[in-house]
Structure 1
Amino acid sequence: MKNKILVISLIFYFLFLSTSAQDNLLDQLREENETEWNTPTSTFKAIRLINGHTVETREKGNLEFLISHRFGRINSGAYQFFGMDQANMRLGLDYAWEDWLSLGIGRNSFNKVYDGFVKIRLYQQSQGKIKLPVTLVWLSNASINTIRRPEIPMNLNRKLQYAHQLLVASKLNQKASIQLMPTYIHRNLVRERTDPNALLAMGAGVSYQIAKSIHLNIEYYHRFKEQENENTHPLAIGVDIETGGHVFQLHLTNAQQMTETGFIPSTTGDFFNGDIHFGFNITRNFQLKNTRPVKK
């Protein structure tokens, strides 16, 4: 366990170290062009970092259709075509009711879970007069597990799960962004009587531009209270590829589920033992309302 934490720490350390050499030059650029860093246009390239959300919200009236895939474990061998024979999918719709308010729904093939969320931007990073170098976003998620379990009478109350997060992100410079995700999760039904219904976790993520249209992303969640012995901490590494205004996301993760109420408390794969799922996110945006002023 100590070796795994060391490897994860080194990955984050070297990514942050590579940005520090640019600080002096960036300070000069900010002085020459103060408005450039007054309000960053985007902290991340997509509304999802890998498994979890980023602080990004869309323009008012934007509808985003999101397709997420997680294949089976790579170490399942050639018979399962290294996980490609097994796949879970989530279909989601995210709608920006306002620039600062987004609502979303989704359906997951894993455990036949339906989920919904509300996402509220509390503060946008600014380096002007206020000089508060973070963006703050509140996320609340609820999901309902509809898979049939004949051994347990599954009423509505037992099917529900909740997650609440405060997303705190900062765009450090033109290339690097970081995010912290303190998280509270409540599950009405747990595996054993001794397992806690509620748990706390802390997530951390980083995005770094490694090429003109490619960003490297790392995401990790640490639970503060263990439940089932086979559970592990979710870890994911991926890349964002910008393609003509859209972002195509490829990633490797030990998490199989794709909602906060699923992958944070219930991940069982050991990333460093080869229990890795290849996955991707594809988005398509539709601007349903034109909020820009009409030129006369």
Structure 2
Amino acid sequence: MKNILTTLCFLFLSSFSFAQDDLLDILDDENTETDQSIVTSTFKGTRIINGHSVENRKDSELEFIISHRFGRINSGFYDLFGLDNSNIRFSLEYGLTDDLTIGAGRSSFEKTYDGFLKYSLFKQKTGAKSFPFAISLFSSIAVKTLKDYDPDDKRTFAESLSYVSQVLIARKVSSSFSYQVTPTYIHRNTVSIAEDPHDIFALGFGSRIKVSKRVSINGEYFYAFDKSTSINARNSLAFGVDIETGGHVFQLILSNAITMIEKSFIAETTGDFFGGDIHFGFNISRTF
């Protein structure tokens, strides 16, 4: 009887030891899977300045954005330093999921309608399974409806279309500094003259420096490798201040571009920033 009790105790203790080992293995596996953190708030809003950031709307969130760019500051007092002239864009953006945003807008410049999709492909993560960058894919289509053509040479709908594709690659280096690199491809179905390229490749650079809990300073530059000659196109340069106030993000902007969609401010900007061709503007967004 004593031998039997000894054997049962041994088996019980052995099974407890095995179970304990199995439990520790499970916990180790779970810790390995969860010992990571998704980096958030790389930028305050869905725009760095003119161009998109990697930030998306959350699932079922609706954002209304009003963007405004005035005329050139160096136009003088007669035009009140550009305030007499303006370009405005209204847009709605909706989070289909946390990773997929759809949006549409209308610009007064060239009476352009545009729509886009933005998808978060990878998120920046820290921890055991870290990933150094956040990567999103962006694609848009725009149609120019301004009737600036000869009535006998009316454009078709297809001839008025242009397309943009971008890869948004961003990194939040610290709580105070983030940057983004944006390879860009633009295709325009119609150009002004034969010498103007239908296809334009560009590379964008953007950054954000956080100066307080609710305020940051942003910079943005797009270098176009292919330029239109009919309009003496220049690279887009912009600086801005982001101010967050609850559900609003308010951006104050200085840029040599008066337009606010990718095909225009990347490929069709004509202002010389350092020559005084600067447009003051702002973006106001409200999330519901």
Q: TM-score range by the shorter chain?
A: 0.7 to 0.9
State yes or no: 1:209 paired with 2:210. yes
User: 2:283 is matched with which residue?
Assistant: 281
Q: Which amino acid aligns with 1:240?
A: D
Bigger-Rg structure (1/2): 2
Q: Which amino acid aligns with 1:187?
A: R
Alpha-carbon separation, structure 1, partners of 2:158 and 2:166: 22
**Within 5 Å, which residues of 2 pair with 1:150-169?**
150-151=149-150, 152-169=153-170
* Cα displacement (A) at 1:62: 0.4
Percent identity over the alignment? 48
Structure 1 residue runs of 4 or more that deviate by more than 3 Å after TM superposition: none
Alpha-carbon separation, structure 2, partners of 1:236 and 1:36: 39
Q: Which amino acid aligns with 1:68?
A: S
Q: Contact 2:100–2:118 (CA<8 Å) still a contact in 1?
A: yes
**Within 5 Å, which residues of 2 pair with 1:161-240?**
161-228=162-229, 230-240=232-242
User: 2:245 is matched with which residue?
Assistant: 243
SS class of match (1:67) = strand
Q: How many residues are matched?
A: 252
Alpha-carbon separation, structure 2, partners of 1:88 and 1:116: 18
TM-score normalised by length of structure 2: 0.85
Alpha-carbon separation, structure 2, partners of 1:123 and 1:149: 42
SS class of match (1:251) = strand
Q: Contact 2:203–2:224 (CA<8 Å) still a contact in 1?
A: yes
State yes or no: 1:268 paired with 2:270. yes
SS class of match (2:259) = coil
Alpha-carbon separation, structure 2, partners of 1:61 and 1:269: 38
Bigger shift: residues 213-222 or 240-249: 240-249
State yes or no: 1:140 paired with 2:158. no
* Cα displacement (A) at 1:284: 1.0
Q: Which amino acid aligns with 2:286?
A: R
**Within 5 Å, which residues of 2 pair with 1:94-113?**
94-113=93-112
Alpha-carbon separation, structure 1, partners of 2:69 and 2:119: 27
User: 2:84 is matched with which residue?
Assistant: 85
SS class of match (1:158) = helix
For structure 2, the residue ranges without an aligned partner over 5 or more in a row are 1-33
User: 1:11 is matched with which residue?
Assistant: none
User: 1:70 is matched with which residue?
Assistant: 69
Q: Contact 2:228–2:268 (CA<8 Å) still a contact in 1?
A: no
User: 1:117 is matched with which residue?
Assistant: 116
Q: Which amino acid aligns with 2:87?
A: N
TM-score normalised by length of structure 1: 0.83
User: 2:59 is matched with which residue?
Assistant: 60
Alpha-carbon separation, structure 1, partners of 2:149 and 2:121: 43
Alpha-carbon separation, structure 1, partners of 2:281 and 2:36: 34
For structure 1, the residue ranges without an aligned partner over 5 or more in a row are 1-34, 287-296
